[in-house]
Amino acid sequence: MQAELFRNARIFTPIDRGSPCSGENQGCLARYEDGALLVVEGIIERIGGEEEVLAGLSAETVENGYDCKGLCLIPGFVDPHTHNCFAALREDEFELRIAGTPYLEILSRGGGILSSVKAVAGADVEQLSANTLLQIRRALRFGTTTMEIKSGYGLDTENELKMLEAIGAAGRLTPVDIVPTFLGAHAIPEIYRGRADEFIDLVIEEMLPAVERQGIAGQCDIFCEEGVFSIAQGRRLLEEAGKRGMQVKLHADEVHDLGGAGLAAEIGAVSADHLLAASESNMEAMAAAGVVATLLPATAYSLRKPYASARSMIGKELAVALATDCNPGSSYTESMPFVIGLAVLNMEMSPAEALVAATLNSAYAIGMAKKTGSLDVGKQADFLLLEGGSPAILAYHAGVSPVVEVYKKGHRVFFESR
Ligand code: NIG
Ligand code: FE
């Protein structure tokens, strides 16, 4: 058994108490000034102050230990909401948006998500998976060690399965843990315009069974929004997905308050995502039901919308997670440090709250907390070394990644030469 020691680090980690961190625990970090980590076969064996971690270790293990030179050591980021499988960018649409055309209007004209659908239809699995891999590699350099990726630019059985196959293939070629999500109900395809219920029938009767047979996606998502899918359609699909043993979640109350947050609470979703327009009472219902609120501040930034009410959520004991929502339309960024910066400066989260949101709570939001998200004994040694003296550097060093080394299961997978 090969034991690897990392010493002379300033360690900051959320504390996993067996459920997502909410209220006061949202900003609670364990901290070891002269910290050390002992890793055996990719798993954390010991963590704490140097004296305690080094006790009883062989002279060889200590001598071969890696000197972290006083850098900050934190868990790898878990990005729990991305659309990183796509075939083309949408810069033309970005220009339209900044000139004033609303996001949903572009979609209603057959652009937006539907333009990504056309691009995906014209790409094969190899092209899609190569593109996905590029996205993953970029995110890895910014410290993402676990990532959720959705389908949703297929919108028919063949292309949804193709996307999931590409996500699965990319996942086998990267050290990053990939969690694939089926998002067949991401938009109403043009041939189903005005017939959303019939499209949901197709998703339930044809796509879901095919996705289950394919065996790649363990989660199901839907975009509930005005002009897209209703709450009743969301309930119908997610209940079916739940019966098939999938973890369920939804794009909820992104632009309008349709009650998506309330639906998430009602059906026991693992998370509800976006929530820019969610009502106070539905936030309370989510907190009571233990649903994680996955907030996507880079989407509010890019769509120039008011940010989600993180302070109010934390005040209601609703556990908050953070994600990039990386996609070619509403939020084109792979950077979790950027997202943390927005959360701290524009949503008034403290750096500690944002760190918990981007690691442990985001691991809970995709069912990965048993493996990762905090530096607890028995979890994977997924961690980062950061420049600077505390995780506040993530927000403070704006627009630049302070991530200098990335470790996945104890192996160094990124290193910035200094
Ligand atoms: O989370 N809102 C729906 N889906 C994505 C955007 C996808 C796209 O524009 O391509 C989102 O914002
Ligand atoms: Fe999204």
Residue 329 Cβ contacting ligand 1 at under 6 Å: yes
Residue 240 Cβ contacting ligand 1 at under 6 Å: no
Residue 299 Cβ contacting ligand 1 at under 6 Å: yes
Q: Where are the alpha helices (DSSP H) in 326-405?
A: 336-346, 351-358, 360-364, 393-396
Residue 223 Cβ contacting ligand 1 at under 6 Å: yes
Residue 64: pLDDT above 80? yes
Collapsing DSSP to helix, strand or coil, 405 comes out as: strand
Amino acid identity for residue 111 in this structure? G
The tens digit of pLDDT for each residue in 140-199 reads: 999 999 999 999 999 999 999 999 999 999 999 999 999 999 999 999 999 999 999 999
* Averaged pLDDT, 300-321: 97
Closest Cα to atom 5, ligand 1: which residue? 330
CA of 377 to the centre of ligand 1 (A): 37
Kindly give the number of the ligand 1 atom that is closest to the alpha carbon of 329.
Answer: 9
Question: Where does the pLDDT of residue 418 fall: very low under 50, low under 70, confident under 90, or very high at 90 and above?
Answer: confident
Kindly give the number of the ligand 1 atom that is closest to the alpha carbon of 325.
Answer: 1
The tens digit of pLDDT for each residue in 115-136 reads: 999 999 999 999 999 999 999 9
Mean pLDDT estimate for the chain: 97
Query: What pLDDT shows up at residue 417?
Result: 79
The tens digit of pLDDT for each residue in 163-174 reads: 999 999 999 999
DSSP letters for 341-359:
HHHHHHS---HHHHHHHHT
Collapsing DSSP to helix, strand or coil, 2 comes out as: coil
Residue 416: pLDDT above 80? yes
Among 39, 25, 5, CA closest to 360: 25
Residue located via tokens 């509930």: 224
Percent of the chain with pLDDT over 70: 100
- Please, which residues have CB within 8 angstroms of residue 174's CB and are 6 or more apart in sequence? 133, 136, 137, 140
Residue located via tokens 């790898």: 76
Q: Which domains does the chain have, with CATH numbers?
A: 3-76+374-415 (2.30.40.10), 78-365 (3.20.20.140)
User: Are 35 and 49 within 8 A, CB to CB?
Assistant: yes
* Averaged pLDDT, 25-29: 98
First to last CA, the chain: 31
Q: What one-character DSSP code corresponds to residue 192?
A: G
Residue 150 Cβ contacting ligand 1 at under 6 Å: no
Residue 292, CA atoms < 13 Å, CB-side half-sphere: 31
Which residues are near ligand 2, the ion (C-beta closer than 5 Å)?
A: 325
Question: Where does the pLDDT of residue 248 fall: very low under 50, low under 70, confident under 90, or very high at 90 and above?
Answer: very high
Collapsing DSSP to helix, strand or coil, 171 comes out as: helix
Residue 251 Cβ contacting ligand 1 at under 6 Å: yes
Residue 1: pLDDT above 70? no
* Averaged pLDDT, 235-253: 98
